[in-house]
Structure formats: C-alpha cells, structure tokens
Amino acid sequence: MSQTVITTTTLTTSRKSCDGVLNMGYTRTIPGLLKIGQILALLVAFLCVHCVRGWPSWATFQFFEVVVLWFLIALLIFLLMHLFRLQAKMPCINWPLTEYFHYSVGTILIFIASIVAAVKSQGVSALVAGSVFGFLATFLMAVNLWTSYSLSCGPHQTGAAV
C-alpha cells in the first residue's frame, strides 16, 4: 500500500513599516487627483481675493473667502484621511456618504459664491481671477460628486443570482 503526502508552503513577504502608514498611491488615483486639483483651485481663488485691496463689495468677497476657506480646510482633512488611512480607524462613520454630502453642499455654495463674486468684481482683475478659479473648483467638485455618487448611493452588486 502506497501513501502520497502533499505539502503546500505559503510564502509571505513583509512590507516596510512606513508603507502601511502612508498611502501615497491614493494621490495617483482619479479621486486623489481631483482632490489635489480642488485644493489648488480653492487655494488660488482664496489668495486672489484675499491679497487684493479695495474690494468693490466687502460683504460679497468676505462670503467668498469664508466659503472657499471652509471647503479648502475640509478637503485638506479628507485628503489627509485618505493619505493616512484614517477611515479604517474610524469605522463608525460612513465616509463615502460623508464625502458625498460634503461635495454636494460644496458644489452649490462655491458655485453661488463664484457667481456673486464674478458679478460684483467690477473689472478688478484679481477678483475676476478668484471667481474663475472658484468656477474651476466648482467643476472639479461636481465631477467628484458624480464619481462619489456611484460609491455611496449607487446600485450595489450582490453575489446572489436572481
């Protein structure tokens, strides 16, 4: 009587410890590139409006600055959360739905602030440039809103066949 013994071996490789902390691959994905583009557009819009003197309408550009700065800080927080993989450490929050809500409110408010800033700029070139970058950030946020919709609210595939 002959017996056959089959042995299997598993090879595991360990990564460097810093590779598990920082997720730099996220910056090369479409959502990562969109976030970086939004941050840059909002930063330029804020600086264009903040550095100019002699605003034609003080309340309008204060509103523009507050809206742009608020969503700039929120985008930086979301980017840092993705870079340091903090979503996995806080599973009690639905992060895709939170980002979807952020993009929906941000798209509307930055669009309104950019329209008002463009109307009230009265030919001051820095204010016009700030509103143009506000419109660019609005477009990027709308694209990110559309892509995040499929993650948070879109149809989910199940393994069961109907």
Number of domains into which the chain is organized: 1
The answer as to whether 10 is a domain residue is no
The answer as to whether 19 is a domain residue is no
User: What's residue 53's pLDDT?
Assistant: 83
- Show the domain range for 47: 24-85+92-152
The answer as to whether 128 is a domain residue is yes
d(CA 93, CA 4): 52
Alpha helix (H) ranges present in the chain? 30-50, 58-83, 95-120, 125-152
> Going residue by residue through the chain (162 aa), what tens digit of pLDDT does each one get?
667 767 666 655 544 444 568 899 999 999 999 999 999 999 999 999 999 887 788 899 999 999 999 999 999 999 999 999 998 888 899 888 899 999 999 999 999 999 999 999 988 899 999 999 999 999 999 999 888 776 656 665 555 555
d(CA 81, CA 113): 27
The answer as to whether 18 is a domain residue is no
The answer as to whether 143 is a domain residue is yes
User: What's residue 17's pLDDT?
Assistant: 42
The answer as to whether 17 is a domain residue is no
The answer as to whether 38 is a domain residue is yes
The answer as to whether 56 is a domain residue is yes
User: What's residue 67's pLDDT?
Assistant: 97
- Kindly state the helix (H) or strand (E) to which residue 4 belongs, with its residue range: none
User: What's residue 10's pLDDT?
Assistant: 64
